[in-house]
Chain A
Amino acid sequence: MSGYTVTPVAGERVLGRTVRTAREWLPAVAVLVLGLALWEGLVAALHVQRFLLPPPSDIIRTFFDERDVLWHAGWYTFKEALGGFAIGCSAGVLFAVLVGRFRLLRTAIMPYAIAANAIPIIAFAPITNQWFGLLNPLSKMVIAAVLCFFPVFVNTLRGLTSVHPSSIELMHSYAATERTIFRRVRFPNSLPYLFAALKVASVLAMIGAVVGEYFGGSQEALGVQIRNSAALFAFETAWAAILVASLLGIGFYLAIALVERLTMDWHPSARAAE
């Protein structure tokens, strides 16, 4: 703070921060409003068929009218995504730790891990439905879990192994064991990589659950409702359900970003927040 600035009292400071935040968000909000207005206007002006693109006002009305059913379905699907996320991310971290620790394992497994990463996992959805049962949430969790596994595995492994050689030499100079080095250096070093992967995985988990449901599932599930509404020409409902899926996906992402911010207040990226 420069010398001539008077330190503002608490109230003014909060007000100042609010105004600053509002100013930062203003362009994004303007784009949203403009976009919706343009959509509404063009649909009306060009007489676009309702099943091609309903106007946003209709979608929002449906979103409110059918909110109980939609959010119930959203919650059902979100639980599948969350379950898959938990399984896939845990497995990803576990494998990264093992492969990072044992060099032999790395040379044996990595080529297959990289190859498997290129497989379109969604293609397995009909098969997992067969394996675990159409109505069993596990059949969707497995798809979500496999989708989450690879980014978490690859990123965490990179975080655990991309430690500056001098950092390791320093720990050796203290006669530290491999376990201590893992706990004090490798693990904290991997956290920024891990969180980047968890954010990607949160989005993938939601995609995995919804798309898995397109191949059949409980009538309560969001993906099933999107598919059925579209088949019954209830396009406003389909769009409103997509809106629910999007809001849940964004919420999930933001929740992880918040945990990241709280866990890594030491990270240089926290500088911007101060």
Chain B
Amino acid sequence: MTDAAAVSLRSVGRTFASGEVVALKEIDLEIAPREFVSFIGPSGCGKSTLLRIIGDLIKPSAGEVIVNGKTAHQARLDRDYGIVFQDAVLYDWRTVAKNISLPLELAGWDRGRRDARVNEMLDLVELTGFEKRHPWELSGGMQQRVSIARALSFSPALLLMDEPFGALDEMTRERLNAELLRIWAETQSTIVFVTHSIAEAVFLSTRVVVMSPRPGRITEIIPIDLPQPRTNAVREDPRFFELVTRVREALHGGSGRDSELRLAEAE
């Protein structure tokens, strides 16, 4: 089972500033292939740090991280995952098509293969016709779709997303949530998703990992048993509201009123 896991975290810890700040403590988590797992928690609970540890962008101070059956470091060198940040992080000097093909260029794909894949990706994120535009000509939502297309262009088995829709308005966010679920189903990838939004986490995930701060740790893991494939109709399902309430209570139960205040601060 362990070898088959997409991501496996064993007693992972991370301290900053020479041991004074404990960002993460004793994190144990197994993520199976094709899962959609969200990390949710107030600011300072270490959810973004945990995502970066999985991506080998930050080294853990303790514990073991296995991605696709190898060390996180080896998985990064093998380009086993794609990543999407809160900002789209597109390069202004590249067109939409060239932003999407950047990882393909770095992986040494030839021109013909790159162009074919970029067209597929544009189709996947519904941006066909925008390939020659520059990032600053696009809306925030469109920029983030380019960023997702870039992360998926080389067909990684794992997609890491750090609050990708956090800077978007609510309507765009809901539309991109539905689109992400469609892409997840089409690409059969595993997604690890960091968010501040309870509704977003419940709507998207197969499991929601609730975290609390000081030190950052997992307080509860809530399976989301809403039927697949999900459409926006799910948002009106009574079960959806029950699960939203459960996640909210788990968040607030974490460390009493104190964390409730911090959560309000964060949003």
Contacts and interface: CB of A to CB of B under 8 A. Distances in A.
A34 to B, nearest CB: 40
Nearest to B156: A173
Interface of A: 164, 166-167, 169-170, 172-176, 180, 184-185, 188, 191, 264, 266-268, 271
6 contacts: A170-B83, A170-B85, A173-B79, A175-B79, A188-B93, A271-B136
A166 B136 CA distance: 17
Interface residues of B, number: 24
Contacts, number: 53
Contacts of A184: 91, 102, 106
Contacts of B55: 173
A188 B81 CA distance: 26
A264 B134 CA distance: 12
Contacts of B103: 174
Contact of A174 (B79, B85, B94): B79
Contacts of B79: 173-175
A172 B85 contact: no
B106 A167 contact: no
B77 interface: yes
Given A180-B106, A268-B136, A173 B76 contact: yes
Q: Which of A172, A176, A180, A266 has the most CB of B within 10 A?
A: A266
Contacts of B94: 266
Contact of B57 (A172, A180, A188): A172
Interface in B40-94: 52, 55, 57, 76-79, 81-83, 85, 87, 89, 91-94
Contacts of A188: 91, 93
A167 B81 contact: no
Contacts of A166: 85, 87, 89
A164 B92 CA distance: 12
Nearest to B134: A266
A268 B136 CA distance: 7
Contact of B89 (A164, A172, A180): A164
B77 A267 contact: no
Q: 5 shortest A-B CB distances, which residue pairs?
A: A266-B93, A188-B93, A166-B89, A166-B85, A268-B136
Contacts of B102: 174, 184
Contact of B83 (A169, A176, A264, A266): A169
Contacts of B92: 266-268
A185 B57 CA distance: 18
A172 B81 CA distance: 11
B234 to A, nearest CB: 31
Q: Which of A164, A174, A264, A268 has the most CB of B within 10 A?
A: A174
Nearest to A267: B92
A267 B134 CA distance: 9
Contacts of B83: 169-170, 173
Given A169-B57, A188-B91, A175 B136 contact: no
A176 B77 CA distance: 9
